């Protein structure tokens, strides 16, 4: 059914997923209007690209960071047009990537085709209900917006409270629950305990060292596995992916055998084009089994460090300033001197170690379970029965077109999700190379549902 008036679409969240959904809508339709909601400043950069620290680098080569699935060289062309001296194999700064995203907004939303059709609302959406000709959104500032369709691009929720941290300690000043909403420069002197050893830990450790060089840092995770470096240039000829119909066990065996012959990096790169087919063919219990066995290795090989970053982390480890250990927290308690006392047990050991820390920072990565979320909008969607968790509790349950499934399992034609919250359906939907195609597809699906599609691209 063509929409009688120009369709109005709400995009909630203005990180990469939301911005690119909005821009794809404007690019694909000559008439659609978009209201882009963002509750934090700066708008349009999200958690990843709002940094000014030039040492914070992308963890994906520039050649694979185009925001547009149909223009693979676009980011590299943008870098070269600005004389930044970087090519496809280099790792740009995350700040430059933020500038790239903002340039896309300026080009499309302020250009002749898009002018006046993108409204940025610096406000949090706290409620969504059926209303008017589609949906009625309410915002934290108490405003109401009637729109024809909604795309939720809420990003990653903050990490869950790890075992060993009780409510009392979690409420203390020494505990940092969300590493992305915290500034290392505000912390007084003293050692720091990081819980988790992935990319978030790497970022936080570098920020801590920038703010106070020499500060002792202990990073504790169950396995003590830190992300690896992008070693050397990618192979000229990538390996053929595995068949998309392998069982989880066979997929794991394929990975191990290929890694033995070609290295883990090449093996994981070869699997990536097939992850969607593999994942969508597995049952919930097969997916769970694969995650249980492959996830730790997948994470360190799949999410790798730019060489500059890896060199700094190696140097911090070599001097003993940064220690990455495998173990579990037994308990944590504030002490009269202001430092926290942590008792932890090494993996496979009986001994208990003691560490003192001026701050304990949760770097365990995002939680996806919408049922335990305390986010007002997610609570509202669950309470109204408009959303339900996927089988593995990685995010929203969505159908093959990324439409939210409601409590009964039915999907609504005009309520969509984009980005990491759709992990249950896609698994690999964390980084730009995965999300850019989804943002374009969701924009296309929204316009198709509203009958306002026009081949403007
Ligand atoms: C430190 C870091 C480095 C990374 N580096 C890379 C990299 O090098 N390459 C790569 O490809 N990927 C990288 N990633 C992955 C990155 O998460 C994705 O590339 C992408 O930025 C995810 O964007 P998003 O919009 O889905 O989420 P986010 O960036 O988290 O944006 C979601 C936005 O939604 C807003 N929001 C949520 N709820 C509401 C609401 N109710 N109302 C209004 N606004 C709301 C939030 O405030 C937030 O700004 C990195 C991630 C991090 C955290």
Ligand 1 mean position, distance from CA 155 (Å): 5
Backbone angles phi, psi at 175, to 5 degrees: -100, 130
Ligand 1 mean position, distance from CA 17 (Å): 7
Is-contact 204 228, C-beta < 8 A? no
Best mutation site among 18, 155, 361 for ligand 1, i.e. most ligand atoms within 8 A of its Cβ?
155
Q: Do 446 and 326 have their domain in common?
A: no
Is residue 240 included in any domain, yes or no? no
- Rounded CA separation 264/298 (Å): 9
- Report DSSP letters for 2-49, one per residue: --SS--EEEEE--SHHHHHHHHHHHHH-SS-EEEEE-SSSSTTSTTTS
| CA dihedral sign of residues 299, 246, 418, 105 | positive
Sequence-ordered list of residues with C-beta below 8 angstroms from that of 95, at least 6 positions apart, any chain: 49, 51, 52, 53, 54, 56
Q: What residue owns the CA closest to ligand 1's atom 3?
A: 48
Sequence-ordered list of residues with C-beta below 8 angstroms from that of 367, at least 6 positions apart, any chain: 157, 158, 159, 160, 373
Query: CB of 58 closer than 6 A to ligand 1?
Result: yes
Is-contact 26 9, C-beta < 8 A? no
Backbone angles phi, psi at 346, to 5 degrees: -70, 150
Q: Is residue 86's pLDDT more than 60?
A: yes
Residue 327: half-sphere exposure toward Cβ, Cα within 13 Å? 23
Q: Do 32 and 172 have their domain in common?
A: no
Is residue 256 included in any domain, yes or no? yes
Query: CB of 198 closer than 6 A to ligand 1?
Result: no
Q: Do 263 and 392 have their domain in common?
A: no
Is-contact 26 109, C-beta < 8 A? yes
Sequence-ordered list of residues with C-beta below 8 angstroms from that of 296, at least 6 positions apart, any chain: 223, 225
Q: Do 57 and 197 have their domain in common?
A: no
The residue ranking higher by pLDDT, 399 or 295, is: 399
Best mutation site among 46, 69, 184 for ligand 1, i.e. most ligand atoms within 8 A of its Cβ?
46
- Rounded CA separation 108/20 (Å): 11
Q: Do 276 and 136 have their domain in common?
A: no
Query: CB of 22 closer than 6 A to ligand 1?
Result: no
Is residue 235 included in any domain, yes or no? no
Ligand 1 mean position, distance from CA 15 (Å): 5
Sequence-ordered list of residues with C-beta below 8 angstroms from that of 443, at least 6 positions apart, any chain: 21, 24, 25, 27, 28, 151
Ligand 1 mean position, distance from CA 81 (Å): 26
Query: CB of 432 closer than 6 A to ligand 1?
Result: yes
Mean pLDDT of 319-325: 97
Q: What residue owns the CA closest to ligand 1's atom 31?
A: 15
- Rounded CA separation 163/81 (Å): 49
- Rounded CA separation 177/171 (Å): 9
The single-letter DSSP state of residue 179 is G
Quote the pTM value: 0.88
Supply the pLDDT for residue 178: 87
Mean pLDDT of 80-98: 94
> What is the total count of domains within the chain?
3
Query: CB of 389 closer than 6 A to ligand 1?
Result: no
Q: What residue owns the CA closest to ligand 1's atom 45?
A: 13
Q: Do 373 and 446 have their domain in common?
A: yes
Is residue 14 included in any domain, yes or no? yes
Q: Do 52 and 135 have their domain in common?
A: yes
Q: Which domain covers residue 290, as residue numbers?
A: 248-302
Q: What residue owns the CA closest to ligand 1's atom 21?
A: 16
Q: Do 440 and 352 have their domain in common?
A: no
- Rounded CA separation 46/63 (Å): 21
Best mutation site among 196, 370, 431 for ligand 1, i.e. most ligand atoms within 8 A of its Cβ?
431
Q: CA angle, corner 372, sides to 156 and 166, nearest 5?
A: 100
Counted residue by residue, the chain has a size of: 457
Is residue 162 included in any domain, yes or no? no
Q: What residue owns the CA closest to ligand 1's atom 1?
A: 48
Mean pLDDT of 121-142: 96
Domain of 192: which CATH number?
3.50.50.60
Is residue 238 included in any domain, yes or no? no
Mean pLDDT of 202-215: 93
Predicted confidence band of residue 455 (pLDDT cuts 50, 70, 90): very low
Query: CB of 202 closer than 6 A to ligand 1?
Result: no
Atom of ligand 1 nearest to the CA of 139: 42
Tens digits of residue pLDDT in 157-208: 878 888 889 988 999 889 999 888 788 888 888 999 999 998 899 999 999 9
Query: CB of 15 closer than 6 A to ligand 1?
Result: yes
- Rounded CA separation 267/244 (Å): 15
Mean pLDDT of 352-375: 90
- Rounded CA separation 429/422 (Å): 7
Atom of ligand 1 nearest to the CA of 418: 26
Q: Do 313 and 295 have their domain in common?
A: no
Q: Do 410 and 446 have their domain in common?
A: yes
Predicted confidence band of residue 407 (pLDDT cuts 50, 70, 90): very high
Q: Do 209 and 258 have their domain in common?
A: no
Q: Do 343 and 195 have their domain in common?
A: yes
What's the 3-state SS for 53-120? CCCCECCCCHHHCCCCCCCCCHHHHHHHHCCCCCCCCCCCEHHHHHHHHHHHHHHHHCCCCCCCCEEE
Ligand 1 mean position, distance from CA 22 (Å): 15
């Amino acid at each position: 059914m063509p929409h009688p008036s120009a369709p109005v679409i709400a995009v909630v969240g203005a990180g990469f997923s939301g911005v690119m959904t909005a821009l794809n809508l404007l690019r694909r339709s000559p008439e659609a209007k978009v209201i882009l909601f963002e509750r934090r400043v700066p708008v349009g950069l999200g958690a990843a690209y709002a940094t000014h620290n030039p040492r914070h680098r992308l963890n994906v080569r520039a050649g694979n960071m185009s925001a547009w699935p149909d223009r693979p060289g676009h980011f590299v062309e943008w870098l070269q047009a600005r004389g930044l001296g970087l090519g496809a194999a280099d790792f740009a700064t995350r700040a430059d990537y933020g500038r790239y995203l903002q340039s896309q907004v300026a080009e499309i939303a302020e250009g002749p085709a898009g002018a006046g059709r993108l409204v940025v609302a610096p406000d949090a959406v706290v409620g969504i209900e059926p209303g008017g000709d589609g949906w009625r959104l309410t915002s934290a500032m108490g405003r109401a917006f009637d729109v024809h369709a909604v795309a939720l691009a809420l990003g990653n929720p903050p990490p869950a409270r790890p075992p060993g941290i009780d409510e009392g300690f979690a409420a203390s000043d020494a505990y940092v629950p969300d590493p992305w909403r915290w500034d290392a420069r505000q912390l007084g002197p003293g050692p720091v305990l990081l819980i988790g050893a992935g990319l978030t830990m790497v970022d936080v450790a570098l920020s801590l060292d920038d703010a106070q060089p020499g500060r002792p840092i202990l990073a504790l995770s169950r396995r003590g596995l830190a992300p690896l470096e992008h070693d050397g240039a990618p192979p000229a000829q990538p390996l053929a992916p595995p068949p998309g119909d392998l069982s989880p066990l066979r997929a794991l065996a394929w990975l191990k055998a290929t890694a033995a012959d070609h290295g883990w990096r090449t093996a994981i790169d070869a699997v990536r084009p097939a992850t969607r087919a593999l994942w969508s063919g597995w049952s919930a219990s097969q997916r769970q089994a694969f995650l249980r066995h492959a996830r730790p290795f997948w994470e360190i090989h799949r999410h790798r460090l730019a060489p500059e970053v890896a060199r700094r982390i190696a140097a911090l480890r070599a001097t003993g300033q940064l220690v990455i250990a495998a173990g579990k927290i037994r308990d944590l308690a504030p002490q009269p001197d202001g430092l926290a006392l942590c008792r932890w047990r090494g993996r496979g050991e009986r001994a208990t170690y003691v560490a003192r820390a001026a701050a304990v920072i949760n770097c365990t990565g995002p939680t996806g379970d919408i049922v335990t979320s305390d986010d007002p909008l997610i609570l509202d969607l669950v309470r109204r029965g408009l959303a339900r968790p996927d089988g593995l509790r990685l995010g929203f349950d969505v159908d093959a077109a990324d439409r939210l499934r409601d409590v009964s399992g039915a999907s609504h034609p005009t309520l969509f999700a984009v980005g990491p919250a759709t992990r249950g359906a896609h698994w690999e939907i964390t980084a730009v190379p995965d999300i850019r195609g989804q943002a374009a597809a969701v924009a296309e699906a929204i316009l198709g549902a509203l009958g306002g599609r026009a081949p403007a691209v």
